[in-house]
Structure 1
Amino acid sequence: MPERTVKIASTSGLHARPAAIFSQAASELQTPVTIEKAGMAPVQASSILMLLTLNVDYGDEVTLRAEGEGADDALDTLTALLEKNLDENL
């Protein structure tokens, strides 16, 4: 199962606007993706409510995992989002 570890670049972490942008992008993928913060259970990346329960802040590291056809492409897409400051205009 491919995975990526990513440092959160958004100044507000993975809250509000960044979480909405990220979960929307994840829900548009054909491959299910999970996101996990150290010490917490993985959650579906496409669920904004589950993302918010992770309480991910600026500079935190998260691990993304995907399985199946297109897993690497899905992870590349979502990794690129998390490496941007989504609090700024895209």
Structure 2
Amino acid sequence: MIVVEGVLQNKTGFHIRPAQLFMEKANEFKANIMVRNEEGMEADGKSILGLMTMGFEYGSKIVIEASGDDEEIAVKALLDLVNNKFGEE
């Protein structure tokens, strides 16, 4: 299992488009992917509904956890997506 932390840097936060991009990227991997917010709320990183309920806004800390065969490349790809502001800016 690998756990990484990031900070949402896109000004609009985790609205439908970033959530969809995150889910699509997560579904490219076999690893199980979980996402947590600062309050400890947890969601399946491969579920858009779960991601949308997390309440991530600009500046929110996001914790990405992956476990499985391709966990290392999964967390790197997802953290890169977050760090690149979901291509919004």
TM-score when scaled to structure 1?
0.89
RMSD of the TM alignment (CA)?
1.4
5 Å-filtered alignment, 1:1-90, equals: 1-86=1-86, 88=88
Conservation of the 8 A alpha-carbon contact between 1:31 and 1:69: yes
- State the shift of 1:41 in Å: 2.5
Give the distance between the partners of 1:87 and 1:69, measured in 2 at CA: 27
Structure 1 residue ranges (4+ consecutive) displaced by more than 3 angstroms after TM superposition: none
**Percent identical:** 25
> What 5-or-longer segments of structure 1 have no aligned partner?
none
Query: Deviations for 1:9-54, whole angstroms, at most 9, x for unmatched residues?
Result: 2221111111111111111211111000021331111111111100
Q: Letter of the aligned partner of 1:72 in structure 2?
A: E
Question: Any gaps of 5 or more consecutive residues in structure 2?
Answer: none
Partner AA of 1:46 in structure 2: K
How many pairs does the alignment contain? 89
Equivalent-residue separation in structure 2 for 1:74 and 1:67 (angstroms): 9
